[in-house]
Structure 1
Amino acid sequence: MSNSEDRRWKVGELAKATGLTVRTLHHYDEVGLLVPWKRTSAGHRLYAGQDVRRLYHILALRRLGLRLEQIGSLLDDDDVSLVETVRRHLEQVERELEHQHRLRRRLRQILDALERSVEPTVNEFIDAMEAMTVIETIVEDVVIRLPADEADEPSPPLVREGYRVVLLKERGGERVLPIWIGAQEGDLLAARLGEWSQKRPMGPDLTAQLLKAGGVHVERVVIAGAREMTFYATVTVKAAGESHEVDARPSDALNLAVRVGAPVFVATEVIDQSGLASRPGDAEGRVADTQGEWRSLSQDIIRSLQPREARAD
């Protein structure tokens, strides 16, 4: 066994070596997340190599956005391996590096202009700030949960009356931001993503056509904030040479974005706090759940939820 494996760390030594605070290590001990290998007769904490490994698990999972209580459950699960934790940590670091590379390119453009005694354009400054504060995403899918006892029914009651979940996937990364939206808005969004034919334009289609007819260009949509699981969005439009930012519900903003081809961004702090490390599920887009099954919203499912008279309209 190597010397590093034999070594024992006092709490202050481990805190200094890892960049944590003593208070943090004390808290992890108090909540049972990282209990020291032993205590001395004087009550001082001593940490062993196995504790260092567990501490890495904790910090890596924290970086992936998990709460302490979730981490505790995962660490007690024999199916969660160190290999998987390191792999997911590496994937996140690579995403962060890509984000920093984008910022570096934009800062380089500004610096090059300054070194040539040329005033950088306003757009170059905006691009640099955008790289610092928002992350571009893709409207990937709309999913629903089919309760286990209703999954095989042609028109599941809870699905008909419930909500949809739109998944925003980080461009060039794996993180996914789930946003709960109303059933009608979710169905319209899924219909557009699936390019399903419709007999007449719906509300978002009319809005997009009116903006186009009025010479208004939708520049971007941003999921700008979240409070108590309620998300807030803004839509930036340009008309007569001037840009205007308008508050909107995410469901309305996303339905507009996919119809006019506007980019969708998410504030960095929002996806850091509410994003998932990756989208769970199998190749068919189905996600196992103790209360049912998550499934991509298909045209057949939507048609099964509509009253027969509405289908003929």
Structure 2
Amino acid sequence: MKKIKLDIVGLSYSQTQSGAYALVLGEVNGRRRLPIIIGGFEAQAIAIEIEKMTPSRPLTHDLFKSFAQSFNINIEEVIIYNLVDGIFYAKLICNDGKKTTEIDARTSDAIALAVRFECPIHTYEFILATAGIMIEGNDFVFLENIESPTEEKSPSSQGSYASLTDDELKEKLQQALAEEAYEKAASIRDELTKRNAL
């Protein structure tokens, strides 16, 4: 079967399932999108790597990468190979220089590892035909702040960053990363990015 390459084009809070996130994969050089509902922790792991944030201690997927690299194992490809009753199935194609091995994985974990190993993500036509959606107009990327489903965001926290100086924001960003408060760090980073764009 012919494989179709996918890129991550979006990650946002799911409007349909509480505590879940929608990961949107896009067909490279195509207009179809593949939305996948994933958990908050996996969404956070993907967002942290995409945004190039550095946690104070390694997350599970970072640990897996370090472990694999210590034994000269590389993930060469992630394939979303099946869809059964609304559940996507994925596998990691790994190589240690001598042999290639396929490892079954949850799709969210496979994507979190794909962004860390910078390997391609593929699927098959029947999956895009079954679960894909066609978009109209210009393509766009959206990556919203990822929150842990167990934490509440205080209503005043978002607006409070506007009154701080750049240096104060940078200090708070380092503090948030040290405390592993990645949602807070993402909000602070967004405020700094917004200021630099002006």
RMSD over aligned Cα atoms: 3.0
Which consecutive residues of structure 2, in runs of 5 or more, have no partner in the other structure? Answer: 154-175, 181-198
Taking the aligned partners of 2:141 and 2:27, their CA distance within structure 1 comes to: 20
Partner of 1:45: none
Query: Is 1:200 matched with 2:47?
Result: no
TM-score (norm 2): 0.70
Taking the aligned partners of 2:20 and 2:112, their CA distance within structure 1 comes to: 15
Partner of 2:22: 165
* Amino acid across the alignment from 2:144: L
Q: 1:189 aligns with which of 11, 22, 46?
A: 46
Count of residue pairs the alignment pairs up: 158
Partner of 2:131: 274
Query: Is 1:312 matched with 2:157?
Result: no
Partner of 1:247: 104
Taking the aligned partners of 1:255 and 1:303, their CA distance within structure 2 comes to: 16
Q: 1:263 aligns with which of 117, 120, 128?
A: 120
Contact 2:13/2:21 (<8 A) preserved: yes
Contact 2:78/2:122 (<8 A) preserved: yes
Shift of 1:302: 2.5
1:68-79 correspondence to structure 2 within 5 Å:
none
Q: 1:237 aligns with which of 94, 97, 104?
A: 94
**TM superposition outliers: structure 1 runs of 4+ over 3 Å:** 279-285, 303-311
RCO (CA 8 Å, sep 6+): is it higher in 1 or 2? Answer: 2
Percent of matched pairs sharing the same residue: 25
Contact 1:176/1:279 (<8 A) preserved: no
Shift of 1:145: 3.5
1:292-307 correspondence to structure 2 within 5 Å:
296-298=143-145, 301-302=146-147, 306=151
Which consecutive residues of structure 1, in runs of 5 or more, have no partner in the other structure? Answer: 1-131, 148-157, 286-295
TM-score (norm 1): 0.45
Judging by fraction of residues, say which structure has more helix: 1
Distance 1:235 1:304, change over 3 A: closer
Query: Is 1:134 matched with 2:23?
Result: no
Taking the aligned partners of 1:237 and 1:164, their CA distance within structure 2 comes to: 27
Taking the aligned partners of 1:137 and 1:274, their CA distance within structure 2 comes to: 14
Shift of 1:190: 1.4
Shift of 1:141: 2.1
Contact 1:176/1:278 (<8 A) preserved: yes
